[in-house]
Amino acid sequence: MARTRYIAGNWKMNTSRAEAVSLAQDIVNGLSGQPHTYMIAPPFVYLDAVSQVVKGSNVLLGAQDVAASDNGAHTGEVSGAMLKDIGVQTVIIGHSERRHEIGESDMLINAKVRKALSCDLDVVLCIGELLSEREAGAAESVCAFQLSAGLSGVTEAQMARVTIAYEPVWAIGTGKTATPDDAQAIHHCVRAHIARLYGPAVSESVIIQYGGSMKPENAAELLAQPDVDGGLIGGAALKAASFVSICCA
């Protein structure tokens, strides 16, 4: 079946307020009239400003994380309801930098997934293996475990709001990229595992992004793979020209 192409830009801890607004405006202008699904995820402190820029456009507003709780004594956390209140539509959960730099567990990531869905937010769930795990031949099993853990308690109906992002940790911010064949192999395994969890209909419809140093030079070849439905873009999302180029690859 034909799945919608979905390109998302994760700005991470970059930009000033003025830069965020300008970048968002350039992206909105560059993608006006384009037919696929697009999302940008600025830093938390600029979400409100960027929300005003993307409002009414074909660019979704995403957040880079979400709390697993609704409210209360959780210093520094931002709830799904707060994000919804300023126009956020989707959240990135389980990014490798939060798994491996912050130390987020699969249990916490799953709690965030379920909380975001209960708040009427879409989810981009990130999974991916370390270089040591790939070299040990465990890439597929690691991704399958993270997938099962992250989706625990998520219903078949809720899967319509979940996108999976495969991000080989060794290819994030390093300039290294999985070959198109490497990416396709894991994406195919991810889709097969979703079929085991939810059945073939969900498996065929779920969007699986590639998130490991996709850039204008390699986007078309990666996106040509049958199970690669889009990209979760890091560094190349910080310049409108390169992000728009990937979106139009």
| Catalytic residue ranges | 95, 167
CA distance 178 to 167: 9
CA distance 111 to 233: 24
H or E segment at 201? helix 200-205
CA distance 212 to 172: 5
User: What is the maximum span of the chain, computed from C-alpha positions, in angstroms?
Assistant: 47
CA distance 36 to 32: 11
**Which is nearest to 163 in space by CA: 117, 196, 200, 100?**
117
H or E segment at 246? helix 240-247
Whether residue 69 contacts residue 79, with contact meaning beta carbons closer than 8 Å, is answered with: yes
Residue 199 has, within 13 A of its CA and on its CB side, a CA count of: 6
Q: CA torsion 77→83→89→91, rounded to 10°?
A: -10
